[in-house]
Every structure is written in C-alpha cells, then in structure tokens.
Structure 1
Amino acid sequence: MVMKQFKLWFNVVRPFSLTASIIPVLLGGVIAMREGVFQLSTLALCLVAMTALQISANLISDCDDYLNQVDTKESFGSSGMIVNGSFTPRQALRGGMLFLALGSVLGLLLVYISGLVVLLLGVVGVVSAYFYTRKPFSLKYRGLGAPFVFLMFGPLPVLGAYYIQTQRFSLLALLLSVPIGLLTTAILHANDIRDITSDRKAGIQTFAMEIGIHKASVVYVCFLSISYLAVLLMMVFGTLSIWSAAVFLTLPVAVLDMKSLFSRKLMTLDKQTALLQLLFGGSLVASFMIM
C-alpha cells in the first residue's frame, strides 16, 4: 500500500521535469565553487527549496488544469493522474500547498543564512509557483508561461544559488542563466506546440497557439540554437574554458529533437527536450567542476 502511494505521488510530481530546478541551482553553485566559495549544506537547502517550489507548481497546475477543462481524456498535458482517477483535484491542491510550505520554510532558513536579498528572490519564487495557474493571475492561461518559465528556471535559480554561496551577484552567472533558461522554456514550448488544439478548445492562451505551429516550430529551433551559440560566444571571448565545449556533444540530441518537431512526432517532445536540458546543463556543470 505504501509503495503504491509512493509510485502515485512519484508520477504526479512529474519527475522528468525536475531537471528544470536541479540544473540551474547546481550551475549557480559550481560557478561560486570556481571562485573559491562552496558550502554543500547551503547549496543542498537551495536545491531542495527550489525543487519543492517546482513540485508545488506542478501539483497546483494539475488541479487547475483539470478544473478548467484544460486536461481531459483527449489531451496530453500534465501528469494525467487526476484525469485517470488516481488523484482528486483536492489531493493535488493539498499536495501543492504542502510543497509550497516546505519551499517557503527552507527559503526562510536561507534568508537567515544569506540575508534579505534572498527573501526577495524567495517571494518571487513562491508567488510565481502559486499563481502560475491560480486566479486572479493564471499566468499559464494568459500566454505568459514562456517568460515565467525563463525567469523562474533561468536567471532566478542560477543567480540565487550563486548569491546564497557568495553574497554577491555575478555577470557570468547571469550570462549562463540564459541558455539554461531558454532550454527549460523549450520544454514548456514543446508541450504547448503539442497541445495547441486541445488548449484552443479549453479557451486558454499560449504563445505557441497565438503564433501558430509553423512559427512556434521556428521559435523552438531558436531556443535551442541560441543556447549553443551563447556558449560558443562565451568560449570565443574567454568567458568560458575549453572544457565547456562538452556541451556540443549534446548536439545530436538537439538535432533529433528538431527532427521530431518537424516530422510532427510531438507526443514525447517535452520529455526529449527535458533530456536535452539535463545533458546540456550537466555538461556545463561538469566543465566547471574539472576546471
């Protein structure tokens, strides 16, 4: 019984998506480590807090998507655990609020350790996680999902993790947050491209729906291409070492993702893009660890 419940909760939090939180926090941490500052316990707290906020957003989104008829038996979004009857909307919402509380408590601990700047970053994270689908803002349903995801899984966690270690901000951390943020946004964008028809029926707005599938496909390619170009330019100008070239070993994965997109094999494109984000970001993290 316990194992069954664990498996249900494991599936509903969408574990494949959690690289969106893990990679940027680790990246901010290893940038600080390169500068001679590294506190494992503080980084671990930051990692758990950020992941808790993402899980909270996932669960609350599942609840609201079901209640707003965005998720149905005919659609492909979210975890599908409410649609198939494994969870009730109430359970998902309660779980979301529990993880939101966990992230908030850990965030307050980080404020105590690292100062009031972290409070501002934490408030942005908590408010954004809650109002991603909750009224009155419902960011996801108003075509604001992409900029939200870029901010929340790019600059905010990379700079936040770096600041928590060093008590200062870094131009390098900001620059590297861009490709990570773009690849994470590409995960959402892949999901939105796949769901254009069902989202239109549900009466919500997404960026992909507004510009149409052909332009949305070009935007997806741009997200991926700019991510690689950013790393290349930082290497050319000496901002990154030669070890950062490891990210280009992931290019075949990016090419396969783009082939899936243009052949309209969209069912698993979001998960494929999440894998690319993991490999790309993991390569960057590793390059800092061996410098």
Structure 2
Amino acid sequence: MAHTLQADSGWRVWWQLTRPHTLTASFAPVFLGTMIALGHTAIDWSLFSAMLIASLLIQAATNMFNEYYDFARGLDNENSVGIGGAIVRNGVTPKTVLTLALVLYGIAGLIGIWICAQTSWWLLVVGGAAMAIGYLYTGGPYPIAYTPFGELFSGVVMGFLIVIIAFYIQTGEVTAYAAMLAVPSTLLVAAIMLTNNIRDMVGDAASGRRTLAILVGRSKAVTILLAFFALSYGWVLLLVLFASLTPWALLVFLSAPKAMQVVKTFKRYTEPLQVMPAMKATGVTNTLFAFLLGIGLLIHYLLV
C-alpha cells in the first residue's frame, strides 16, 4: 500500500530539515569525551558548549547538504521517507537549503577558530578535515554516501573523532584510554548510518548507490547492525573485566532494550515507513549509551 507523506508547515519545516533524529550523533560523542576528560582535569564548560554547538551545526548542515544533493540528483520525491522534505514537500527552494547549510558551516567554522585559539591550532586541520568529509558525504563528484564506506566515515568522524576532540580540548592530550572508550561511540554512530541505508535499500539501488547494505543484502546488513550493537556492549564489558574501567560503566546495559527493539523491527518489517521507529530508536540507543557511560564515569570520579 502506498503512503503519502504530508507537508510540514511553520517552524516544523526547518526543524525537520535538520533531521533531528540524527543530531544525537553529535551530542553523544561530545558529552562522552567531556566525561572522560573529567577524570583528568576540571571541565571548561565554555569549551564544552562551543564544541557541542559546533558539532550540532555541522551535523545539521551535513543533513542539509544531503537534502540538496539528493534532490539535485533526482533521488528525492514527495513520498521519500527519512528526508527533511523541505524541497520536495514543503516548497523551500534548493538554493535556500544549500545557502543555509553553508551558513551553518560558516558559524561552526568561526566557533572552531575560537576553540583553536583557546587550545591548539592543530585542531584547525582536524576540524577542517571533518567538515570536508561532512560535505563530501553527499556532495562532490564521488559522494561517500554512494559507496560502501558511509558507515566507516560517519563512525570514525562523528563517533570516534568527536570524542577525542572533546577530550583533547579539555586535557590537551590524547590517551589510549580515551581512544578505547571512543570505540563504542564509533560503532553506534555507524549503526545510525547503517539503519538509514537498510531502510533506503530499494531506492538507493535504483539510483545506482552501492552502500554496504546493498552489497551484502538486507539479511546480512541486519546481522551487521546486530554486531555493531553487540560489539559496543561487549567492548565495555571487556574494558571493565580487563582494562580497569569502572564497573559503573555497566550502566550502559540499561540501554540494551532499545538496541534489541531496533533489530527486532528490522527483522519484522521491510517497508521504509514501518522501520522509521527503528531509525529513531538507534539514535536514542546512541544517546542513552553515551549518557549512561558518562554517568558511570562521573559516579566513579565522585567516589574515588
């Protein structure tokens, strides 16, 4: 049965354009990196706030680039699921969407320069590379989103790198401990992208994309998604058992039911609209996992 998606109006047009269910991929790593840093130094909350705002702006802008370039390549229509829909359903001009994305990038860049001035100018290179990847994800002649490497790039940049930068701007160093704690964030951000690609397999294949989900098939893609979740929780358990991570970190398992809900939904349903709740649940899993891990670290710091 065909479903028709209704247009948004008012502020909802712009809110949906940001694809809010993906924004946790920015918040969660910044929070986690800052909580890891709390064991090394007092937190500079102005740097935390600046990093958080810049990350959210970059994620929102990346989503807008996605909206613009998918429309420009003829991939989106008024019934496409999972898009902001500003262009094809709500009548916003493509130029407006692209301009807004560039403005958000510009603001994020200015915030990044301020962070560099307070910490290290080497971050200008790292942050610039991350922003370039955000643009090239769907922009440029060879979009990353059209390849099997979307999960890898999104996980490494939005999951791992943001945790490390958030930790570095507070401590002035990068440690193996911080890197190990960033691994689950990497996997869960990759999971957000994988759920997106599983949902869009039919349309993506018709448009010539060669995502990981398309290459391995739907069943194996869902298995990989399950592996991302299992490895995230298993990694924390291993760190508690063998790497002196506080047992309070096991609070992350309180988020496991959300992850199970995601996998069950994808195993039960195949229609894009039917699996939309799983998309949101993946973002919630990422947020809860990072929040609970951060709270576990905070409790440990307060008790020692």
**How high is the TM-score relative to the length of structure 1?**
0.95
Matching residue within 241, 248, 254 for 1:236:
241
Residues 11/212 of structure 1: CA separation in 2 closer, same or farther (3 Å cut):
same
In the aligned structure 2, how far is the partner of 1:180 from the partner of 1:276?
11
1:172/1:239 contact within 8 Å kept:
no
The match for 1:282 among 254, 279, 291 is 291
Give a deviation string over 1:82-124, Cα, whole Å, max 9, x none: 2213422111111110111011111111111111221122111
3-state DSSP of counterpart to 1:154: helix
Query: Who is 1:145 aligned against?
Result: 150
Alpha-carbon distance in 2 for matches of 1:25, 1:11: 22
Q: Which residue of 1 aligns with 2:5?
A: none
How many angstroms does 1:54 deviate by? 0.7
Q: How many residues align?
A: 288
- The aligned counterpart of 1:54 is 59
Tell me the amino acid that sits aligned with residue 287 of structure 1: G
One-letter amino acid of the structure 1 residue matched with residue 281 of structure 2: Q
Residue 120 of structure 2, aligned match among 115, 118, 133: 115
Q: What is the rounded CA distance, in whole Å, between the counterparts of 2:81 and 2:125 in structure 1? A: 35
Segments of structure 2 that go 5 or more residues without pairing to the other structure are: 1-8
**Letter aligned with residue 257 of structure 1:** V
Question: In structure 1, how many angstroms separate the alpha carbons of the residues matched to 2:244 and 2:60?
Answer: 34
Q: State which of 267, 270, 273 in structure 1 corresponds to 2:279.
A: 270
Residue 15 in 1 paired to residue 24 in 2? Answer: no
Q: Secondary structure at the match of 2:283?
A: helix
Partner of 1:128: 133
Measure how far apart 1:268 and its partner are: 2.6
Q: Deviations over 1:34-79 (max 9, x none)?
A: 1123100011111111111111101111111111122223431322
Q: How does 1:200-239 map to 2 (within 5 A)?
A: 200-239=205-244
Match of 1:41 among 31, 37, 46: 46
Between the aligned partners of 1:71 and 1:178, the Cα distance in structure 2 is 33
8 A contact 1:75–1:195 mirrored in 2: no
What is the match of residue 157 of structure 1?
162
1:180 to 178, 181, 185: 185
Indicate the residue corresponding to 2:3 in structure 1. none
Instruction: Tell me, yes or no, if the aligned pair for 2:13 and 2:90 is still in contact at 8 Å.
Output: no
Matched residues in 1 for 2:276 and 2:34: separation? 34
Q: Residue 138 of structure 2: SS of its match in structure 1? A: coil
Give, in angstroms, the shift of residue 239 of structure 1. 3.1
2:176 maps to a residue whose letter is L
Query: Which residue of structure 1 lines up, in the alignment, with residue 87 of structure 2?
Result: 82
State whether residues 81 and 87 of structure 1, in contact with CA within 8 Å, keep that contact through their aligned partners in structure 2. Answer: yes
Aligned residue identity for 1:285: G
Q: In the alignment, does 2:102 pair up with 1:93?
A: no
- SS in structure 2 of the partner of residue 267 of structure 1: helix
1:209: how far off?
0.7
Q: Give me the whole-angstrom Cα distance separating, in 1, the residues matched to 2:279 and 2:72.
A: 23
Q: 1:65 aligns with which of 70, 77, 88?
A: 70
Please give the secondary structure, in 2, of the residue aligned with 1:34: coil
CA distance in 2: counterparts of 1:78 and 1:178, whole angstroms = 28
Q: Give the Cα–Cα distance (whole angstroms) in 1 for the partners of residues 241 and 75 of structure 2.
A: 45
% identical aligned pairs: 30
Deviations 1:206-242 (A, max 9, x none): 1101111111111111111000000000111143211
- Which of 171, 174, 182 aligns to 2:176? It is 171
Counterpart CA distance in 2 for 1:150 and 1:105 is: 24
Contact 1:60 1:93 survives alignment (8 Å): yes
Find the aligned partners of 1:116 and 1:267 in 2 and give their Cα distance: 41
Q: Mind listing any 5+ residue stretches in structure 1 that lack a counterpart?
A: none
